[in-house]
Structure 1
Amino acid sequence: MTNIYLNRWFSVSYHYMNMIRDNPDGGQFKFYGTHPDTNHLSLQACDYSEQEPVLHGTEYVDYAVDFCRRHEIDIFIPRLKMLEIAKEAERFDAIGTKVMVCRDIPLLESMLDKDKFYETLEGTGVVPIPEYDVVETAQQFKDAYEALVRNGHRVCFKPTNSEGGLGFRIIDNHMNALDNLYGWVSLSIPFDQAYNTLSAVEKFPKLMVMELLEEDEFSIDCLSDSNGKLIVAVPRRKSTGRIYVLDEVPELNEIAERIAEQCKIPYVFNIQVKYNKGVPKLLEINPRMSGGLFITCLTGVNMPYLAVKTILGQPFERPKPVWGIRASYLELPIVMKDRS
């Protein structure tokens, strides 16, 4: 029996735990989870869970080490506090827990701060980077916006250290305020409204002001070995609504190969790119399993399980994705386990 611990994960980790559990080799796994919300869906796939305290820095690492020690955890797959955990990974080594995290601290820091990662890759030829500027005052925001418009771009902005789409906005000066009020909540905002809001403070948390990438968006889910050598990459194109298309795209596989060669990110990671004028440009790289990985795995590549085999040093044949898949997803009703 192998004990696996996932801390404060997204709800989709429910799928990942079950994908590891339902493996083709008959391997036996017991799953442990923690979350401040004891009703969180991620805990419903766990064999054991407990309420996670709200802690920061070394205190959080102390908690995670103690949890792993108490439950004899073999593999720890962190989401929350990845950087702090990576910095003290040897503490987990000392108790026999393997941590599925990137241990290259400068690289991990840069991936968690989007502007730093752009700086890391600029000029390397690994992947095209969108035109952007980093701002923290309203005047800088205005100057960056006007420069991008002069260069012929539509403009968007987002925080440098957000997760997913948090804080992402598109500048649209032609939107109708009344229509917007009566319609669906929009990601669009007029420049003047954004500028006036940002002008209310002397300095705000850093924003990246960028060219808006207006064509197809892809997530490339990648699996590497413990040294960061790429094993397989599967691009997932976002289509209309909840539809995703899983096709082989050699151009994107080459980008994944170059990023893996340059960065050597271990285990599972996700590259997000979006096309503009026919050029795929980098949005971000997430050094963890992505929220949509369970859709990518419909190609027959069980990345969560293969990542577990990788960290355990167990050999396997290089997987061959099945292409030409259109996929979507539905809500799954489940009866909640009693966690009281």
Structure 2
Amino acid sequence: MTRVWFNRTFSNVRAVLDLIRRGDAAGELHLICTHPEPSFPGFVPAHEHALEPAGLSGADYVDFCLEFCRERRIDALWPGKEARLLAEQHERFAAIGVRLLSVAAPDVLERLHDKASFAVEASRFHIPTPETLPFRTATEFESAYERLRFTHEVLCIKPAKGVNGDGFRVIREGHGGLEGLARDGLYSLRRGCLRQLLARNPPDATWLLMEYLAGDEYSLDAVGDGRRLIALTQRCKAAGGAYGQRIVARPELTRAVSELTERFGLSGLFNVQFREGRHGLRLLEVNPRFAGGIGYTGVTGLNLPYLALRGLIRGFTEQDYQDAPRPAPEMTVLEVAQYERHGGAA
């Protein structure tokens, strides 16, 4: 039996663990989940769980992980927290018999997390990134704004490093007062207000100004072997907040993810985001982790978490390569299937 540890990560790991257990009919995998919060949802489907010490980071967290691997006889670590730093220390884990299941090399992880440098590199891809300019000061913002407004009606901002849409705002013209604030919605910001914020307290980190993409959003959950794309699910989240998600199979999206898999050497389970704009599809980002909507893939007949883990530990099969890249069939999913019931987690 192979003991696989999922260290601290997002609560959607519950869906990942559910799907792995569903795929592992022979019971060859023993799943361990850790988190500082005793009520963490990922503990429910895990075969074994434990509390992580709160407040650890950097080298101290790496030391904790190494000791945990020794104590719990871990065979493979699927990293969440400090994924890049753990990947840098993969030789220390290998020395104690632990395989680190990193999506990419440490330098690649850094490039993917830095959306400013990623936007420049990916602007030449089959499906390019939105037109993007970095800024830190009010002067840099105004210069970038005037430049992009020549070709794009609406612009938006987000931090160069961030997850789950943190800091994303659509820029609105004018002042508008309280009535304008009520109409603008949660994810918008008046240009004048942003200008004042930058003048009073310029950010320490880089932010990005980019064309706003108003069309449908596509979230692609994918499995790669480090060289080629093995399988993927394409989830379409319709603009306007329509209920549910459509599972689609657009060939141009498959080609784009195949290109990204080869270019960045992506292995295991990862996520790629695209969105439609006035000038067609644009690549938003590559997330070297499982996505929040990974549970939607459980109803497609394509068990990506189990396929990824089985492939990384035991190698992908001839059938996997014969079918690659295998897309999930088209369908509409209005609701994620109920989680599996598990007992005996300790």
TM-score normalised by the chain length of structure 1: 0.90
1:219 matched residue in structure 2: 219
* Bigger mean CA deviation after superposition, 28-37 or 317-326: 317-326
How do 1:153-164 and structure 2 match up within 5 A?
153-164=153-164
Give how far 1:178 is off. 3.3
Give how far 1:336 is off. 12
Q: Which amino acid aligns with 2:153?
A: H
1:37 matched residue in structure 2: 37
- 1:131 maps onto 2:131 in alignment: yes
Give how far 1:122 is off. 3.3
Secondary structure of the structure 1 residue equivalent to 2:284: strand
- Call closer, same or farther: CA 1:338–1:144 in 2, change over 3 Å: farther
Secondary structure of the structure 2 residue equivalent to 1:76: strand
2:150 matched residue in structure 1: 150
- Call closer, same or farther: CA 1:82–1:32 in 2, change over 3 Å: same
- 1:237 maps onto 2:236 in alignment: yes
2:21 matched residue in structure 1: 21
1:327 matched residue in structure 2: 333
Give how far 1:153 is off. 3.3
Give how far 1:103 is off. 4.5
- Call closer, same or farther: CA 1:215–1:202 in 2, change over 3 Å: closer
1:281 matched residue in structure 2: 282
Give how far 1:276 is off. 1.1
2:269 matched residue in structure 1: 268
Once the two structures are superposed, residues 14-61 of structure 1 have per-residue CA deviations (whole angstroms, 9 ceiling, x without a partner) of 111111112254233322222222222222323222133322211111
- Call closer, same or farther: CA 1:200–1:94 in 2, change over 3 Å: same
Once the two structures are superposed, residues 94-116 of structure 1 have per-residue CA deviations (whole angstroms, 9 ceiling, x without a partner) of 11111111342221110011112
Once the two structures are superposed, residues 69-98 of structure 1 have per-residue CA deviations (whole angstroms, 9 ceiling, x without a partner) of 111112211111111001001111111111
Give how far 1:164 is off. 1.3
- Asked whether the 8 Å contact 2:244–2:334 carries over to 1, the reply is yes
Matched pairs, number? 338
Q: Which amino acid aligns with 2:158?
A: K
1:257 matched residue in structure 2: 258
Distance 2:336 2:310 in 1: 29
- Asked whether the 8 Å contact 1:136–1:205 carries over to 2, the reply is yes
- Asked whether the 8 Å contact 1:38–1:339 carries over to 2, the reply is no
Give how far 1:339 is off. 10
Structure 2, unaligned stretches of length 5 or more? Answer: none
Q: Which amino acid aligns with 2:274?
A: V
1:291 matched residue in structure 2: 292
1:109 matched residue in structure 2: 110
Secondary structure of the structure 1 residue equivalent to 2:235: strand
Distance 1:333 1:314 in 2: 28
1:189 matched residue in structure 2: 189
Distance 1:26 1:335 in 2: 18
Secondary structure of the structure 2 residue equivalent to 1:199: helix
Distance 2:303 2:175 in 1: 43
How do 1:35-114 and structure 2 match up within 5 A?
35-46=35-46, 47-114=48-115
Give how far 1:126 is off. 3.4
- Asked whether the 8 Å contact 1:228–1:267 carries over to 2, the reply is no
Identity of aligned residues (%): 28
- Asked whether the 8 Å contact 1:86–1:102 carries over to 2, the reply is no
Distance 1:192 1:336 in 2: 53
Distance 1:328 1:95 in 2: 45
Secondary structure of the structure 2 residue equivalent to 1:221: strand
- Asked whether the 8 Å contact 1:39–1:339 carries over to 2, the reply is no
Distance 1:332 1:106 in 2: 38
Q: Which amino acid aligns with 2:15?
A: H
* Bigger mean CA deviation after superposition, 321-330 or 214-223: 321-330
- Call closer, same or farther: CA 1:334–1:265 in 2, change over 3 Å: closer
* Bigger mean CA deviation after superposition, 262-271 or 168-177: 168-177
- Asked whether the 8 Å contact 1:242–1:328 carries over to 2, the reply is yes
Structure 1, unaligned stretches of length 5 or more? Answer: none
Distance 2:227 2:41 in 1: 31
- Asked whether the 8 Å contact 2:273–2:284 carries over to 1, the reply is yes
Distance 1:185 1:35 in 2: 34
Secondary structure of the structure 2 residue equivalent to 1:45: coil
- Asked whether the 8 Å contact 1:73–1:97 carries over to 2, the reply is yes
Distance 2:43 2:71 in 1: 18
TM-score normalised by the chain length of structure 2: 0.89
